[in-house]
Structure 1
Amino acid sequence: MIPLAERYHLLSVVGRGGMGTVWRAHDDMLARDVAVKEVRLPDRRTIGERRLLCRRLIEEARATAALRHPGVVDVHDIVIEDGRPWIVMELLRARSLHQVIVEGGPLRVERAARIGQCVLSVLTAAHGAGILHRDVKPSNVLLCNDGRILLTDFGLAVHMDQASEPEETLVAGIEGSPAYLSPERVLGDPGRQESDLWSLGATLYAAVEGFSPFLRSHALASMLAVLLGEYDPPVRAGRLAPVIEGLLRQDPNERMRAPEAARLLREAARPPAPPGDPRSPPWRRRLLPKPWPVRIGLMVSDPRPFLGTVPVRSSAGP
């Protein structure tokens, strides 16, 4: 195969998504392996839809490159080949949070909280740069072999200045995963910062419970559950429960804000203190047996040292 831009040799497929395929490739010029994302343009799409997909990929590259954050993949280059854009990025050795949950089951509260901290940090940086992600979900959270946690796939990202403008959509009409769309997004709102936070809450729920709170048998049922706010309260969330419930509030104006979520995530990420430790929750300390003052051969209620003799009486006299 002729290398892209006479430089990148495609080697193998790393993953496939709704908008494209990610390849492992070799950069001949810099002698290093990279990841190359190509957009897929199905024949059944109209010319307008194909142009939209290409534009989305270019916007993704720009949005990702604009963020200087350790939780965002580095974009090296963008190539136009055969009328299609190809994004060249750093090659990651990682699994998605979705894969981790499917293969290993729900995560411990502390680990899920640390993942939530990293994702929230990326969202805070993106919002500060005026960018909405609009597709936060477990499959877009990468857990790297080197310990890094990244939020990827800014393919549906939009600048806040453009969020209120009518947007061009695909024929399918649904952008993003229905089980992770906020209520206002389901109703047609392009989204706001609180919409990304709602999706983070649904992602945290999935991390500790093992499934999305709004996942139903088909997309329409999932969106209806989102609109009605119908989900089972988490049973494994522990210290994450207040964060999840706060982020999943229906009204975006009443939804938990990022600073409060960051504080609660920081507390939930700490290892639990052992029973009896002053840092442990009061309910754990109350369960411990109270120490009784014990003396040799006696158990007395008065903790002061016992002094003197004990008079003994019996039927036989003193």
Structure 2
Amino acid sequence: MTEQHHGGRIVGPDYLLAGRYRLDSKLGGGGMGSVWLANDTLLHRKVAVKQVTTTVNMDEAQAREIRRRATREGRMAARLDNPHAIAMHDVALDGGEPWLVMEYLPSRSLAKALGSVGRIPPSEVIQIGARVADALAEAHTAGIVHRDIKPGNILIADRGAALGMVKISDFGISRATGEKDDDDSDVITGTPAYFAPEVARGADPDEASDVFSLGATLYTATEGQPPFGTAADTRELLHRVALGEIQPPRRSGAMTAILLRMLEPDPKRRPTMGQARDELIALQSDGRTRASLNSPLRAADGAVPYWARRGSTSGSTERSGQRPSGTAPFATGPADTRRLPRTSYAPPPFEPAKRKPTLLTQPYLSMAIAALAILILIVVLLILL
């Protein structure tokens, strides 16, 4: 359903929010509510508006907490002014309830991309990591801890003028450094597969745990699964995370050293987010500086990676994150549902292993026969004499 009740009103397409934002279509949902595409009738631009979970049928204390959290998210996100963080435009009140009005980026999440290609080449993951780390380093400088860094919260523009741009989103459970959390202290917020070990053991998330979560996200992008694997049982997964024993990366290439430092079990031994960003920038093959981070992702051929384009689909050769040599990038139209062709492989002709010569093989066999004949001849001559 695209319509639902909100504070006694039916909210759906064409609904005018706060007298300014006209809803278009639902983009998705999250832990705190749904996200809609809307038109800003004042500035004539598309925006994303996040609908806070309805407070209908809640007691006043619960409703007040929901509103407080939404306002906090808007306030924190508004502190950031980084090209790799989704911008917060407004906190709109409608019927006494807050809606977050954010930059709209036509995009897919890194999680969705990985669902199609399985994993991504390290050279492209390095670029993603450098851009996200740049935004998070600025957040940490501003005293903001994200607390939920994962592939689902990293967006890559998949069409339009912004094609290939990378942005971190959803500061919905972020918290200012040192800010008291009124939540139940026994509840861990975030996504367990990307937790830092100390968070799984009950410590409060901080800048160092953000570094670990970003490392876990980059690991997942290159390896195809999180560093602690997967488990249907959340408790089992949390136990693995708490032990801090990751599965060693096998496909991370030049990124391996910085990745392992970001995934250090001891938070004191991890780099800061700024240091991680600088090391990731240094690994970029073309030597781009921080000033040039505000640019689209590039594959080895200089184009935006095929998996980041709207209309790309999964296929057998995509599982490695590489497009086969000689194939064209996917078209960006939604009707393009082709699969990439399989690459052919022919084994070399069979060649029997060569044996080392022995006394039973030529020319040693002929020599042995000749020597035996001479010995027999000598014996015969001696007898005759």
1:71 Cα deviation after fit: 1.0
Structure 1 spans left out of the alignment, 5+ residues? 275-318
Contact 2:73–2:174, Cα closer than 8 Å, also in 1: yes
Distance 1:245 1:218, change over 3 A: same
Larger deviation, residues 148-157 vs 215-224: 215-224
Of the two, which has the highest radius of gyration? 2
Counterpart in 2 of 1:270? 285
Counterpart in 1 of 2:246? 231
Contact 1:102–1:210, Cα closer than 8 Å, also in 2: no
Counterpart in 2 of 1:253? 268
Larger deviation, residues 31-40 vs 210-219: 210-219
Q: Does 1:206 align with 2:223?
A: no
Larger deviation, residues 237-246 vs 255-264: 255-264
Structure 1 counterpart of 2:173, one-letter code: L
Counterpart in 2 of 1:37? 50
Structure 2 CA distance, aligned partners of 1:44 and 1:79? 21
1:58-137 alignment runs, 5 A limit: 58-137=71-150
Contact 2:207–2:272, Cα closer than 8 Å, also in 1: no
Contact 1:239–1:268, Cα closer than 8 Å, also in 2: yes
Secondary structure, counterpart of 2:16 in structure 1: coil
178, 181, 198: which one aligns with 2:192: 178
Q: Does 1:187 align with 2:201?
A: yes
Structure 2 CA distance, aligned partners of 1:212 and 1:47? 40
1:288-299 alignment runs, 5 A limit: none
Structure 1 CA distance, aligned partners of 2:47 and 2:172? 19
Secondary structure, counterpart of 2:99 in structure 1: strand
Counterpart in 1 of 2:176? 159
Residue-pair matches, total: 270
Structure 2 CA distance, aligned partners of 1:83 and 1:188? 35
1:189 Cα deviation after fit: 2.2
Structure 2 CA distance, aligned partners of 1:259 and 1:5? 39
Q: Deviations over 1:15-61 (max 9, x none)?
A: 11111111011122222221111012477866544433322221111
Counterpart in 1 of 2:154? 141
Secondary structure, counterpart of 2:89 in structure 1: strand
Distance 1:224 1:49, change over 3 A: farther
Counterpart in 2 of 1:287? none
Q: Deviations over 1:143-197 (max 9, x none)?
A: 11312211110111111131xx4x2225982311011121222233222211110
Structure 2 CA distance, aligned partners of 1:2 and 1:22? 14
Distance 1:49 1:207, change over 3 A: farther
Q: Does 1:243 align with 2:255?
A: no
Secondary structure, counterpart of 1:161 in structure 2: coil
Distance 1:33 1:161, change over 3 A: same
Secondary structure, counterpart of 1:265 in structure 2: helix
Structure 2 spans left out of the alignment, 5+ residues? 1-13, 288-299, 301-385
Q: Deviations over 1:52-79 (max 9, x none)?
A: 3322221111111111111112222211
Counterpart in 1 of 2:343? none
Counterpart in 1 of 2:17? 4
Structure 2 CA distance, aligned partners of 1:211 and 1:138? 11
Contact 2:134–2:274, Cα closer than 8 Å, also in 1: no
152, 162, 168: which one aligns with 2:182: 168
Structure 1 counterpart of 2:77, one-letter code: T
Larger deviation, residues 124-133 vs 227-236: 227-236
